[in-house]
Copies of this chain bind each other. A is one copy, B any other.
Amino acid sequence: MINIAVLGYGTVGSGVVEVIRTNKEQIGRRAGDEIRVKYVLDLREFPGDPVQDVLVHDFDTIAGDPEVDIVVEVMGGFEPAHTFAKRALEAGKSVCTSNKAMVAKFGAELLEIAREKNVNFMFEASCGGGIPIIRALNGSLTADVIDQVAGILNGTTNYMLYRMRVEGSDFGTALKEAQEKGYAEADPTADVDGHDARRKIAILSSIAYGGYMDAEEVYTEGIRDITPEDMLYAEQMGMRIKLLAVSRQMPDGVCAALVAPFLVHAENPLFAVNDVFNAVFVHGNMLGDAMFYGSGAGKLPTASAVVADVIEEAQHLHEHIPCNWGEEKLELQDPQEVDSLFFVRVTGKTREEIEAAFGKGCEFVSCPSLSGETGVITPRMTHREYYAAAEKIGGVISMIRIKD
């Protein structure tokens, strides 16, 4: 019997209890022993719910019980999640979590404590919900030097962009719809402004490149400025607008990382990732292109990933599994020096004026239903060069980067 404690009986926490109950037999067989939920920590009461029998309100009960082998942190937020995770590891218990904010900020510290205590700290559910991308990077693609990661890592914004595309609706309408469906929170900032995706790309990059990427340093734009007119141009060009979180590592070890809306070509496997689905594209120097796709959020897919961590931790109770997340901080290239192709909508300028600003090799796009403006795909240039040119010419309505 392996005893676990679940911290937080919200969406993911109740999902974890449900997954363990529903797939009890298979999970026990895989883990090598029965998994028993000995405690659920929550400040609330749940009268009538079977969880009431194992409900506790004080973390000390869990930290002080030597029978508890694994602590599942699914409360979210920095505190008290971080303190509880740290105390559990220090007490010699393995910890797993779906909490990307905590992992992005304290992952390196918690991994180090896990290593010292010969237990494990796992966070498969922190990125891409049910997609087993952390395990793929950490334990499967081990023969490769990974040099690029690009993901649709936020289901809420992918759903909103999908609805804006198929319905022609604007940002506000799509947000309202996402909130009604329960995909977006009352305060949607973390999703629509890209902070959620930023934390996830920092976590994935830390593991992919074997260092530590500081999420706070990742240049981030959200989707608030995307309009129905941008969608019309995308359609016209046979591309789709996606909020991508991308990073790459150059041969000298320096990384570039960015969260922003991108135009994605039809040939790119990320093109077809619709609705609330997430996907992570990875490029390895031997493997070439690979992509992992699945439910990026939702109670049961996320809980499935958490329980997969519980199973692996149960198989290795007092044996630390090395994580490729390194201690050395990854150096990030100045976002101004990162190069890209840019799609720009310009009003009141001739093609000659546009080429004079953005250089020879501009490709022009006209959208029949939008008059008085010109769409242009610039030649490859750095952000610094782009912003200088945009300022020089004036009249720029919007800019969206184009994914290579």
Given contacts A22-B285, A30-B143, A271-B272, 19 further A-B contacts (CB under 8 A): A23-B144, A23-B286, A27-B143, A30-B142, A130-B284, A130-B290, A132-B140, A135-B135, A142-B308, A143-B304, A143-B307, A267-B274, A286-B300, A287-B304, A287-B305, A288-B294, A288-B295, A291-B291, A291-B294
Instruction: Give chain A interface residues in 127-141, CB to chain B under 8 Å.
Output: 130-132, 135-136, 139-141
Does A190 count as interface, using CB distance less than 8 angstroms?
no
| A311 B274 Cβ-Cβ under 8 A | no
Q: Are A311 and B131 in contact (CB under 8 A)?
A: no
Interface residues of A (CB under 8 A from B): 19, 22-23, 26-27, 30, 124, 130-132, 135-136, 139-145, 210, 267, 269, 271-274, 277, 284-295, 298, 300-301, 303-308, 310-312, 324
- Which of A30, A274, A324 has the most chain B CB atoms closer than 10 A to its own CB? A30
- Residues from chain B with a CB closer than 8 A to the CB of A287 are 130, 294-295, 300-301, 304-305
Please tell me if the beta carbons of A295 and B300 are within 8 angstroms of each other in the complex.
Answer: no
- Copies of this protein in the assembly total 2
Nearest residue in B to A23 (C-beta to C-beta)?
B145
A144 to chain B: which residues have CB within 8 Å?
Answer: 23, 304
Mind listing 10 A-B residue pairs with CB under 8 Å? A23-B143, A23-B145, A30-B142, A135-B135, A136-B136, A136-B140, A141-B308, A144-B304, A286-B301, A288-B294
A373 to B140, CA, bound (A): 50
* Bound Cα distance A277, B298 (Å): 29
Question: Which residue of chain B has the shortest Cβ distance to A294 in the bound complex?
Answer: B290
Q: A210: which B residues are within 8 A, CB to CB? A: 26
Q: Is the CB of A286 within 8 A of B22?
A: yes
CB nearest to A311 among chain B residues = B142
Alpha-carbon distance between A308 and B136 when the two chains are bound, in angstroms: 11
Please give, as numbers and ranges, the residues of chain B lying within 8 Å of A132 by CB-CB distance. 136, 140-141, 290
A66–B384 alpha-carbon span in the complex (Å): 60
- The answer to whether A27 and B294 have CB atoms under 8 Å apart is no
- Residues of B within 8 Å of A141, CB to CB, are 132, 304, 308
Return chain B residues, CB-CB under 8 Å to A303: 143, 286
Q: Kindly state the separation between the CA atoms of A142 and B20 in the bound complex, as whole angstroms.
A: 11
In the complex, what residue of chain B is closest to A274 when comparing beta carbons?
Answer: B267
In the complex where A285-B23, A287-B294 touch, is A308 in contact with B269 (Cβ < 8 A)?
A: no
In the assembled complex, the CB of A354 is this many whole angstroms from the nearest CB of chain B, namely 33
Closest to A303 in B: B286
Chain B residues contacting A285 (CB-CB under 8 Å) are 22-23
The distance in angstroms between the C-alpha atoms of A271 and B273, with both chains bound, is: 11
Contacts of A140 in B (CB 8 A): 124, 132, 135-136, 308
Q: How far is the CA of A19 from the CA of B272 in the complex (A)?
A: 31
B286, A139: Cβ atoms under 8 Å?
A: no
